[in-house]
């Protein structure tokens, strides 16, 4: 017959939590599909109905998608280019613009609208003012010219700064052409990258200082 003390000891052992043997960390993994999609914008940019598949892809993409836009274009239809840019900026995907030869006029604006940039050797960008024709009565033409000029200035500033300086944008609006090759393009992109990194570091340092003060 078991003694009272041995029974109490057994009950205490049952009440005590048993320590498990540590066998190492367990990895929990979740995989998300990453789609890489490429479009080649080559030659003249035509009317927008030729690009509806691109618009749809940009609009329906998710954050894990990567969309490459390969550029070799002398420009073309401004409204189509503007619609491409607006869809790029509204897309949840990471949009990478790839300069493979030349991107003139609207092609240059599309290039700068990317989230990331790839520049091959021996490429060129060209920025210049819009061209077009106006019809109607004299006062209507004057009003349209003024409206388009003000609108294009805002568009250039939003799209091109800080890649282009304010002085360069002003020169373009006055009718000058701004040309640059691959070396100059890369230099400017690197300058922007360094400036952005510096701002992020400053913001992080300020956040740490505020946390320490609290």
> Domain range spanning residue 37?
33-131+177-199
Q: What is the number of structural domains in the chain? A: 1
Residue 214 falls inside a structural domain: no
**pLDDT for the residue 91:** 97
- Residues 20-69: tens digit of each pLDDT: 777 777 878 777 788 999 999 999 999 999 999 999 999 999 999 999 99
Closest to 105 measured CA to CA, from 47, 152, 56, 58: 152
Residue 205 falls inside a structural domain: no
| 18 pLDDT above the threshold of 70 | no
CB–CB of 65/37 below 8 Å? Answer: yes
Cα angle: 154, vertex 155, 157; to 5 degrees: 65
Residue 12 falls inside a structural domain: no
Residue 146 falls inside a structural domain: no
Residue 162 falls inside a structural domain: no
Residue 22 falls inside a structural domain: no
Closest to 123 measured CA to CA, from 194, 73, 192: 73
User: pTM to 2 decimals?
Assistant: 0.79
Residue 204 falls inside a structural domain: no
Tell me the helix, strand and coil percentages in the chain, rounded to 5.
50, 20, 30
| pLDDT mean over 98-123 | 97
| 135 pLDDT above the threshold of 80 | no
Residue 5 falls inside a structural domain: no
| Phi–psi pair at 135, nearest 5 degrees | -135, 160
Q: Which DSSP category does 197 fall into?
A: H
Closest to 178 measured CA to CA, from 113, 128, 117: 128
CATH number at residue 65: 3.90.226.10
């Amino acid at each position: 017959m078991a003694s009272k003390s041995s029974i109490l000891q057994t009950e205490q052992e049952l009440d005590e939590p048993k320590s498990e043997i540590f066998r190492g960390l367990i990895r929990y993994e979740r995989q998300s599909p990453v789609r890489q999609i490429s479009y080649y914008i080559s030659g003249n940019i035509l009317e927008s109905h030729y690009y509806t598949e691109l618009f749809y892809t940009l609009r329906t993409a998710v954050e894990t998608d990567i969309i490459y836009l390969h550029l070799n274009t002398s420009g073309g239809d401004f409204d189509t280019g503007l619609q491409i840019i607006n869809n790029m900026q509204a897309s949840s995907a990471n949009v990478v613009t790839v300069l493979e030869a030349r991107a003139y006029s609207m092609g240059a604006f599309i290039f700068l609208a990317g989230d990331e940039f790839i520049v091959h050797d021996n490429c060129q960008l060209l920025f210049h003012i819009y061209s077009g024709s106006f019809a109607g009565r004299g006062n209507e033409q004057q009003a349209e010219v003024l409206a388009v000029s003000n609108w294009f200035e805002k568009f250039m500033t939003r799209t091109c700064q800080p890649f282009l300086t304010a002085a360069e944008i002003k020169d373009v609006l006055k009718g000058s052409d701004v040309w640059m090759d691959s070396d100059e393009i890369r230099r400017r992109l690197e300058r922007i990258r360094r400036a952005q990194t510096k701002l992020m570091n400053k913001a992080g340092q300020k956040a740490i200082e505020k946390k320490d003060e609290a």
